[in-house]
Chain A
Amino acid sequence: MSKIVRSIKNVASGYSSVQVLVRNATSNDPSGPTTYDMEEISSYTYTSQTDFMEIMDMLDRRLNDKGKNWRHVAKSLTVLDYLVRFGSEKCVLWSKDNLYIIKTLREFIHIDEADNDQGAIIRVKAKELVSLLRDDERLRHERSLAADAKDGRRSR
């Protein structure tokens, strides 16, 4: 049901196909984003500047979403973490420029109706991503590993 509503919203708000991709990958569905989703998104960060900006703009909005939509935030952090490793260099620069958005998520709290703190997963993801972005050496290492893995997949 929510999928239908989302597809209507996508048309009504006039989102581009890349943005729809990001929105679907970071939706409120309990599963996903799949590796394929993230691979597809990261490939668009290499194409045009507009595609890149649209992806980052959408992630920015998802990251600042309210507590009820904690899945948006958690999934956006997953996607951003993937982009920092596999996406174009611009993704790293963007994340460093906007580090405060991620940093301030390290204390994210959301208590759901069942009294569970769903923010825990976001706090862990945000902490991990911040420490990766701060450590240039490790980041370079991770990106070269990621590049190797990608080449390996292609030649297979």
Chain B
Amino acid sequence: MSRAEVDLQISVKKACNTDEVPPKRKHVRACIVYTWDHKNSRAFWNAVKIQPLQSDQVQSFKALIMIHKVLQEGHPNTLKDGYRNRDFISSLATIFPSQGTAYGRLINQYDKFILKKLDFHRNNPGFNGTFEYEEYISLRAVHDPNEGYDSILQLMDLQDLIDDFQKLIFATIHQTPNNLCKVSALVPLIAESYGIYKFCISMLRALYQQLGSDEALAGLVERFESQHFMLRDFFTDCHGIKFLTSLVTIPRLANNPPNVQASDGGSAPISR
């Protein structure tokens, strides 16, 4: 084993230790940087697999946060490697009972979301891990409305899962100092939900330009608008947590959903 792999193993081990605190950013960052330096993530997954995750719930939960972060920010190949390890990831959900202890449910829900995310990226390889705005995706949706329609539906399914999960997190936060571990799972969710939101807007606009006011789109717009309100409430809740506001920029959404039928196309790219 090379020196870099040994260092990586140490980082993974430290990122998901048993302390009930957020996974340390420096260790997670080391994993992300490794996948870029080596353009693959095989060693990362191997290192995750040898951790004793089944022995401790906090450890499992932290591992999921770390996996999510590495999928988001790591080299694009990480998403492909992640899909190959789908069975391993789905096995994490079965270790702890999803009833009873809070972490069991959180792990279960988080796992479901990550699996869905991996499936989505496999079906739509044009998207990167954080759903950063890239023009060509919405252009392609215009050329092939069926595919665009399908992608939007899948994006909205992901958005719903994020929403379920964030509600569960907020429901389990109590007035204890150990909260930050749970709260830190919101960090990647904020970035991801906002990226999905931006994509939905630009793709819906592109579809409207192509098809005009089609009846088939009315259902999508209705669902989009309800997700807008969900997301607005989610971000408002996050604004109340100092840990989050100091760490990431939380976008503020307008009170009313943007008009996707207007053809101004003036949606600015995501700034983080």
Chain A positions near chain B (C-beta within 8 angstroms): 64, 66-67, 100-101, 103-109, 117, 120, 123, 127, 130-131, 134
> Within 8 Å CB of B32, what residues of A?
100, 104
**Contacting residue for B246 out of A100, A101, A120, CB 8 A:** A120
**Contacting residue for A117 out of B33, B73, B246, CB 8 A:** B246
7 contacts between A and B (CB under 8 A): A66-B26, A100-B36, A101-B36, A104-B29, A104-B32, A108-B29, A134-B269
**Contacting residue for A123 out of B29, B33, B247, CB 8 A:** B247
Check A104/B247 contact, CB under 8 A, given A109-B25, A127-B272, A131-B271. Answer: no
**Contacting residue for A104 out of B24, B33, B187, CB 8 A:** B33
For B188, give the chain A residue with the smallest CB separation. Answer: A107
**Contacting residue for B25 out of A100, A103, A107, A130, CB 8 A:** A107
> Within 8 Å CB of B271, what residues of A?
131
Chain A's interface: helix, strand, loop or mixed, by majority? helix
**Contacting residue for B187 out of A107, A117, A134, CB 8 A:** A107
**Contacting residue for B73 out of A64, A103, A109, A123, CB 8 A:** A103
Chain B positions near chain A (C-beta within 8 angstroms): 24-26, 29, 32-33, 36, 73, 75, 187, 246-249, 269, 271-272
> Within 8 Å CB of B33, what residues of A?
64, 100-101, 104
Tell whether, in the assembled complex, residue A100 and residue B73 are in contact, meaning their CB atoms are under 8 Å apart.
yes
For A127, give the chain B residue with the smallest CB separation. Answer: B272
Tell whether, in the assembled complex, residue B272 and residue A107 are in contact, meaning their CB atoms are under 8 Å apart.
no
Q: A108-B25, A123-B247 are in contact. List 12 more A-B contacts (CB 8 A).
A: A100-B32, A104-B29, A104-B32, A104-B73, A105-B29, A107-B187, A107-B248, A109-B25, A109-B26, A127-B272, A131-B271, A134-B269
